[in-house]
Amino acid sequence: MGTKNSLLLAAGLLGSIALTSALAQDGAAYQPPKTSWGVPDLQGVWNIATVTMLERDERFNGKLVITPEEAAEFGRTGDSYLEELTSEGEGGEEDVGGYNTFWMDPGERMAEINGEIRTSIIVDPENGRLPWSQEGQRAIFASRQHPLGPFGGPEARPLGERCMVGFGSSGGPPMLPVLYNNHSQIVQTPNYVMILAEMNHDARIIRLRDDEHMSHNNKWMGDSIGWYEDDTLVVKTTNFHPQQGFRASLRHYLYISSDAVVTERFTRVSGDKIVYQFTVDDPAVYTQPWTGELPMNAVEDKIYEYACHEGNYALPGILAGARKDEVEGPTEAQ
């Protein structure tokens, strides 16, 4: 094994030990309920909305954890988040054709785990930033190009716009918060776990009795197998659909190659909280594996129907307008 690989392995082991230690503190006196077949019961509706970003903003000076006083000083609340979006011209009242803030539900506060207020979802690398490789940067650039033009056809439009999968990796893995619809429902059986994301009603089926991934099938949200380690559900996913590489929300973006391996850990640390950890190992895109943590908070809400295709006249209207422009040329207003 090369020196670089040895260092990465050592760093990964140290990171796992640190995360395990943090979980032990968070849920030290808590014993999660069990299903009738003896595994930790994770079932219910959970919400991952938070104003904490995937990557750490420079305003936090590299610190992962801040005090409540610092959080108040930075103004990281749901209201301040929406104010920033409006002042930056994203989702503002005058943004014709886009959402205004009435429709947004980004969460009310920063993520809190083990009593710590977090400044980024990413906890490793220590700087809270995605460790892009040069190949990963090229992949991002290539994925955002449209050889036929951005309105050449439906295949050139984003997957979320086409109602194929939710945008921003809301269904995962990794599961990340987006601008609204941040609920997920977990259902368990002895042989499967199903995680239903509110956004686009993406349903991920995790097989518990298989030891190997399907070798010939690249699926939306990948191919997931899982198992239980003590009171933690561990899920390993690979074989991602190549069209799902680029994933973007309003305030974060990432890239997951088809051969990436995403390992998730779901640990119930109280009656109303699951700590969700994930590690993305994708040497084709990143210089090292990177890890994130999020709280999943229990809610009483139900997940209602997500209607996307039904009555969606926007996409055919946009494409029809582009065809008209090609024939007649743009109008003076354009």
**Model confidence pLDDT, tens digit, residues 55-84:** 999 989 999 999 988 888 876 665 666 666
- More confidently predicted of 290 and 12: 290
Share of the chain above pLDDT 70, in %: 80
Q: Which residue has the higher pLDDT, 251 or 66?
A: 66
pLDDT of res. 76: 62
pLDDT band at 222 (very low <50, low <70, confident <90, very high): very high
- pLDDT surpassing 90 at residue 257: yes
Q: Give the integer Cα–Cα distance in Å for 178 and 160.
A: 12
Mean pLDDT of the chain: 83
Per-residue pLDDT band at 96 (split at 50, 70, 90): low
Over residues 81-101, mean pLDDT: 58
Domain limits of the chain? 3-318
Summarised one tens digit per residue, pLDDT across range 266-317 is: 999 999 999 999 999 999 999 999 999 999 999 998 888 887 776 677 788 8
Long-range Cβ pairs for the range 162-165 (8 Å, 24+): 162/315, 163/200, 163/308, 163/309, 163/312, 164/200, 164/220, 164/243, 165/200, 165/202, 165/220, 165/221, 165/244
Note the pLDDT of residue 98: 61
In this predicted structure, what is the pLDDT of residue 92?
46
Mean pLDDT value of segment 156-182: 87
Q: What is the bridge-based pairing of β-strands 223-229 and 203-207?
A: parallel
Tell me what pLDDT residue 15 has. Answer: 45
Distance CA 125, CA 11 (A): 10
